[in-house]
């Protein structure tokens, strides 16, 4: 019989989070220091510059990662989804501000306990490094895509990314709630809110997507067309 706690075996992100590649003894050690906590939508999980006290796996919900610009504005630099790892185990201070966009369930690990667990199970550190490097590569690819795409391609690519992250196994039309507002989407993609609204209206007019429930809930009606718009080459 497996010694892995039932709550880990039944976890919604068991097959996608950092834990997915762990052996039983590693998972048992990690679960011993973990606890679950739900952050309501809009609540700050950690402020930039605060003591970096924990790491976490996202079980449900979406987190927004922001950085402060020299003129005092907040710039969205990332969105984190279920299965993503949150936090930097070796940083004394939190480098970025992380906010729950929607009600978000986190499996939290105290940072110092997490470090000790990795020391006791060296393979875990290698798994985390692999995951970190993959996330860095994805971020670099996103920057490259944003730099070469026009407004329509950026919007289409953003919607495709959401579908891939939030409904990876969906068949047929995909329904997703936009995790951020149109203004935040504009900030994230380097566009104006007017441009975002105009592009979304065009996608709806052309039958590629439909929006309802206050324009935050959308359905992809023609994924092939949306993928072509995101990457027409």
Instruction: Give DSSP secondary structure letters for 108-143.
Output: EEEHHHHHHHHHHSHHHHHHHHHHHHHHHHHHHHHH
pLDDT value for 176: 85
pLDDT of the residue at 194: 95
**Count of CB atoms within 10 A of residue 150's CB?**
10
Residue 131's pLDDT is what?
A: 82
What topology is assigned to 6-145 in CATH? Jelly Rolls (2.60.120)
Helix (H) or strand (E) holding 177: strand 174-177
Confidence at residue 213, expressed as pLDDT on a 0 to 100 scale:
67
Q: How far apart are CA 195 and CA 176, in angstroms?
A: 21
Secondary element (H or E) of residue 203: helix 193-205
What pTM was computed for the model?
A: 0.86
CATH 3.40.50.300 correct for 149-230: no
> pLDDT 10s digit of each residue in the chain, 233 long?
457 788 888 888 888 888 888 888 888 999 999 999 999 999 999 999 999 999 999 999 999 999 987 777 788 888 999 999 998 888 999 989 999 999 999 999 999 999 999 999 888 888 888 888 887 777 777 777 766 789 999 999 999 988 888 877 666 778 888 889 889 999 888 899 999 999 999 999 999 999 876 678 888 989 889 999 988 76
> Are 6-145 and 149-230 equal in CATH topology?
no
Q: 203: which 2 tokens?
A: 């996608």
Domain parsing of the chain, residue ranges: 6-145, 149-230
- Which pLDDT score, from 0 to 100, does residue 1 have? 45
């Amino acid at each position: 019989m497996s010694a892995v706690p039932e709550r880990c075996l039944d976890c919604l992100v068991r097959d996608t989070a950092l834990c997915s590649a762990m052996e039983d003894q590693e998972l048992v050690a990690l679960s011993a220091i973990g606890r679950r906590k739900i952050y309501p939508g809009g609540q700050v999980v950690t402020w930039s510059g605060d003591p970096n006290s924990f790491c976490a796996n996202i079980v449900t919900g979406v987190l927004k990662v922001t950085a402060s610009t020299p003129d005092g504005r907040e710039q969205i630099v990332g969105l984190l989804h279920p299965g993503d790892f949150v936090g930097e185990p070796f940083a004394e201070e939190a480098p970025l501000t992380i906010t729950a966009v929607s009600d978000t369930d986190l499996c939290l690990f105290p940072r110092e306990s997490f470090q000790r667990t990795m020391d006791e199970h060296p393979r875990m550190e290698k798994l985390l490094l692999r995951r970190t490097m993959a996330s860095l590569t994805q971020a670099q690819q996103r920057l490259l895509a944003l730099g070469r795409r026009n407004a329509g391609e950026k919007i289409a690519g953003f919607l495709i990314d959401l579908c891939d992250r939030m409904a990876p196994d969906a068949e047929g039309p995909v329904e997703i709630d936009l995790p951020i507002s149109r203004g935040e989407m504009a900030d994230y993609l380097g566009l104006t809110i007017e441009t975002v609204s105009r592009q979304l209206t065009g996608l709806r007019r052309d039958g590629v997507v439909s929006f309802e429930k206050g324009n935050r809930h959308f359905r992809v009606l023609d994924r092939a067309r949306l993928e072509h718009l995101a990457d027409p080459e």
